[in-house]
Amino acid sequence: MGNKQLTTAFMTLSLIIGLVAGAHQTSTAEPEGTITIAIPAGPGGANDRLARGIKDVLEKEKIITNDIVAKNQAGGGGAVAWAAISRHPGDMTQISTFMSNLLTNELLGASPITYEDMTPIATFVFDNACYAVNPKNPRINSAETLITALREKPEEIMLGFAPAAGNHWHIGFVALADAIGADISKVRYTVFASGGKARTALLGEHINLQVVAFGVMSKFHESGDLQCVALASEERVKGVGSDIPTWRELGVDLVYTPWRGVLAPKGLKPDQVAFWEDTIKKMTESEQWSKFAAKEGYETRFIGHDDTMKLLESERTNYQNALTKLGLLKN
């Protein structure tokens, strides 16, 4: 499968975003009691940082007045966290972040939970995919040596990512291999419980490549301990990381921007969905969110419940094709 297939849904986002405007209802529902954000990964990774960032922005901007608790519930590539909140149907105090594992877990048979078993509220974060190496590694320490290894000595690559095989970072690696015409069958990889653990392995040279959200890697890139050799984004990021070229600048036709959002249990009423849509939209329009998103290297585009459901339906097909390419699914 080519890169164009992988990014089809991302290319159509601009068409569906316009449908969101004016679609929000004025909500009369409000959550009662403490709000729990179930984090579908361990500490230190992109999912952890996003969930805790949401908590901080909602509190600092006083968008809601409820107490908020963010709780790591790692396991099963997100399945443990989503199973936990699925046991509270109709409860709008239970939310979680979500990413592509919501689709791939079901496709791979790792979890019976599908996006239709939950209430996806909104998609609003699009990650700048970073391809990070350890500059001390004698063989793979730059974009050029990475590409050479992929083409000529793929057995030298030891890839690490989190939190599950076949997730968006795994597929981000496949996208790179496809873009340069490389065979990935000899590439070794390790799946970690969180991006933080994968980063520790990269620092210790137990792996030599991590595909991850740039925000997770930014301070290590800035210090020089690790190096993001390229971003799979349309344009360079501003501020920290502005020195990092895009793959297109390096002559590789690759744009890949994984998405993240917030979901709730199944059974929410329309006014409850509308409350969370309005709340998340206000959050993404706030000054505190702008600062957080800039620090994390996020691109923010708000897509509400209805169009998130359409996006997930489309992306399920894309990921099914990508997992087949990886040999994780049979035709």
Q: Can you give the pLDDT at residue 330?
A: 74
Give residue limits of the domains in the chain.
3-127+258-325, 129-231
Confidence at residue 27, expressed as pLDDT on a 0 to 100 scale: 47
pLDDT at 71 over 70: yes
182-240 pLDDT, tens digit per residue, is: 988 899 999 998 888 999 999 999 999 999 989 889 999 999 999 999 999 999 988 88
Which pLDDT band, with edges at 50, 70 and 90, does 331 fall under? low
Intrachain domains 3-127+258-325 and 129-231 with the same fold? yes
Q: How far apart are CA 89 and CA 117, in angstroms?
A: 10
Is the domain spanning 129-231 CATH 3.40.190.10? The answer is yes
Kindly report the pTM of this predicted structure: 0.78
How far apart (Å, rounded) are the C-alpha atoms in residues 29 and 42? Answer: 32
Beta-bridge partners for 263: 96, 120
Q: What is the DSSP string of 184-221?
A: -TT-EEEE-SSHHHHHHHHHTTS-SEEEEEHHHHHHHH
Q: Closest Cα to residue 2, out of 255, 308, 211?
A: 255
The percent of residues in the chain predicted with pLDDT above 70, rounded, is 91
Res 16: pLDDT: 42
Strand order of the β-sheet with 94-98 is 68-72, 35-39, 94-98, 259-265, 118-126, 299-303
How distant is the alpha carbon of residue 244 from its chain centre?
20
pLDDT value, residue 17 = 42
Nearest to 241 by CA among 213, 264, 265, 267: 213
Residue type, 96: S
- Burial class of residue 54 in the structure, from the number of CB atoms within 10 Å of its CB (0-12 exposed, 13-18 middle, 19+ buried): buried
Torsion of CA 228, 161, 78, 285, to 10 degrees: 10
Mode of pairing for the β-strands spanning 35-39 and 209-213? unpaired
**Residue 149 reports pLDDT greater than 50:** yes
The CATH number of 3-127+258-325 is 3.40.190.150
